[in-house]
Amino acid sequence: MHKKVKVDMDPGIVCFQHCGPKVFCFSLPEHCPVCSADLADARFSLLPFRVPYPFVRASQYSCAVVIKPTTGDFLNDYYNSMDLHIGVTTSSGTIVEFDKNGLRRHHNDQWNQCLLLDQATPPWREHWDNTLMQICKQKHWSSRNYSEDRHNCYTFVLNFLKMLNYGNLSNAASNKTSFCEKFIIPRTTSAGKYISLYRKLKDTGCYVHKGGSNK
């Protein structure tokens, strides 16, 4: 339980530069890990700042397309885009997903650490909900019809997006490969940098990026 609470939240990675290389840590140390100088009244070449946390809580985003690892969470369990599960939210932030258990609508906390692929603007809310309701009524989104390769979470979301007819998002949805290239890969690539940083810090609490200095 403790672990779960922890991974849902921003671990608060801090970055600074004191005497050269970039240093990443969970909290600002008393002494510079590179030159051991006291940091209390040190002059930083780059002032400490919080590295932006790339993940969101799906229920806080309405009319959104979101992805998360099929099992576990991004920070600890994610390896590549093959392991991703995709879902959408309604205008009130209810998560709608299709998987081996069939179609589900809920608010559960398994979607507390996901990547936002896109979000419709407010004028689209009603059309978004109506289209989603229409597609949810189709009989073939049942656990019996689920197929890991041919009738899965992507089939559901891409069908919905095509029916929605929402600009670039819907255009890309006509083909899974182009959807991945335009909407998934850019997000997972930038989140991947944060994930690898987090994993380096998890063991040591501090990471010095050697060669990252341009001084």
Residue 19 binds Zn ion (CB under 5 A): yes
Q: Give the number of residues in contact with Zn ion, rule: CB under 5 A.
A: 6
Q: Which residues 6+ apart lie within 8 Å of 11 measured at CB?
A: 26, 53, 75, 198, 201
Residue 15 binds Zn ion (CB under 5 A): no
Residue 22 binds Zn ion (CB under 5 A): no
Shortest distance in whole angstroms from residue 39 CB to Zn ion: 8
Contact pick of 7, 32, 135, 157 for Zn ion (by CB under 5 A): 32
Euclidean distance between the first and the last CA atom of the chain, given in angstroms as a whole number: 44
If the CB atoms of residues 1 and 40 are measured against Zn ion, the closer one turns out to be: 40
Residue 136 binds Zn ion (CB under 5 A): no
If the CB atoms of residues 28 and 133 are measured against Zn ion, the closer one turns out to be: 28
Residue 88 binds Zn ion (CB under 5 A): no
If the CB atoms of residues 49 and 185 are measured against Zn ion, the closer one turns out to be: 49
Which of 37-45, 156-164, 166-174, 192-200 is the region at the interface with Zn ion (rule: CB under 5 A)?
37-45
If the CB atoms of residues 51 and 208 are measured against Zn ion, the closer one turns out to be: 208
If the CB atoms of residues 18 and 187 are measured against Zn ion, the closer one turns out to be: 18
Residue 34 binds Zn ion (CB under 5 A): yes
Contact pick of 7, 13, 16, 18 for Zn ion (by CB under 5 A): 18
Residues within the interface to Zn ion (CB under 5 A): 18-19, 32, 34-35, 37
